[in-house]
Amino acid sequence: MKATTPLHPLDAWQAAALLARRELKAVDLVRACLDRITEREPQVRAFVQLNADAALTHARQLDAGPVRGLLHGLPLGVKDLLDTHDLPTAYGSPIYAQHQPLADAAAVALCREAGAVLLGKTVTTELANMSPGVTRNPHNLAHTPGGSSSGSAAAVADCMLPLALGTQTAGSLIRPAAFCGIVGFKPSHNRVPKAGVKSLSETLDTIGGFGRSVRDVGLLGAALTGDARMADPATYAQTSAPRIGFCQTPDWNQADGDTQQVWAQAEKALHGFGAALELPQGLNHLVQVQKDIQAFETARSLSHERLQHHSQLSSPLQALLAYGLTISGQAHAGNLQTTANARSQAATLFSHFDVLLSPSSIGEAPPLALGTTGDPLFYRTWTLLGLPCIHLTFAHGRNGLPVGLQLVGAYGDDHRLLAAAHWVHARLTEHQLTR
Tell me the average pLDDT of the chain: 96
pLDDT for 115 beyond 80:
yes
In a domain, 299, yes or no: no
Cis before 148 (ω within 30): yes
Range of the domain at 190: 12-236
What length does the chain have?
435
Is 188 an active-site residue? no
Share of the chain above pLDDT 70, in %: 98
- Determine which one of 25, 93, 131, 148 is catalytic: 148
- Strands, DSSP E only, in 258-409? 274-276, 355-359, 389-396, 402-409
Nearest CA among 186, 212, 235, 239 for reference residue 384: 186
Share of the chain above pLDDT 90, in %: 95
In a domain, 284, yes or no: no
pLDDT in tens, 199-247: 999 999 999 999 999 999 999 999 999 999 999 887 765 557 999 999 9
pLDDT for 433 beyond 80:
no
In the chain, DSSP finds a helix count (H) and a strand count (E) of 15, 11
Residue 240 pLDDT = 74
- CA dist 120 → 5, 40, 55, 147 (Å): 24, 15, 9, 18
Q: What is the CATH number of the domain that holds 111?
A: 3.90.1300.10
In a domain, 7, yes or no: no
Which residues contact residue 389 at a Cβ distance below 8 angstroms, ignoring those fewer than 6 apart? 173, 174, 185, 186, 379, 382, 383, 406, 407, 408, 409, 417
Residue 425 pLDDT = 96
Terminal Cα-to-Cα distance of the chain (whole angstroms) = 34
Number of folded domains in the chain?
Answer: 1
pLDDT band at 1 (very low <50, low <70, confident <90, very high): low
Strand order in the sheet with 206-211: 47-50, 117-122, 75-79, 163-168, 206-211, 183-186, 389-396, 402-409, 355-359, 244-246, 274-276
Residue 236 pLDDT = 66
In a domain, 290, yes or no: no
d(CA 257, CA 212): 25
Is 79 an active-site residue? yes
Residue pair 201/332 in contact by the 8 Å Cβ criterion = no
In a domain, 112, yes or no: yes
Residue 29 pLDDT = 98
pLDDT for 3 beyond 70:
no
In a domain, 315, yes or no: no
In a domain, 138, yes or no: yes
pLDDT for 5 beyond 90:
no
Residue 435 pLDDT = 67
pLDDT for 419 beyond 60:
yes
Residue 307 pLDDT = 98
Residue 432 pLDDT = 82
Is 172 an active-site residue? yes
In a domain, 333, yes or no: no
- Determine which one of 131, 149, 150, 172 is catalytic: 172
Residue 239 pLDDT = 59
> What is the average per-residue pLDDT within 349-367?
97
pLDDT for 313 beyond 60:
yes
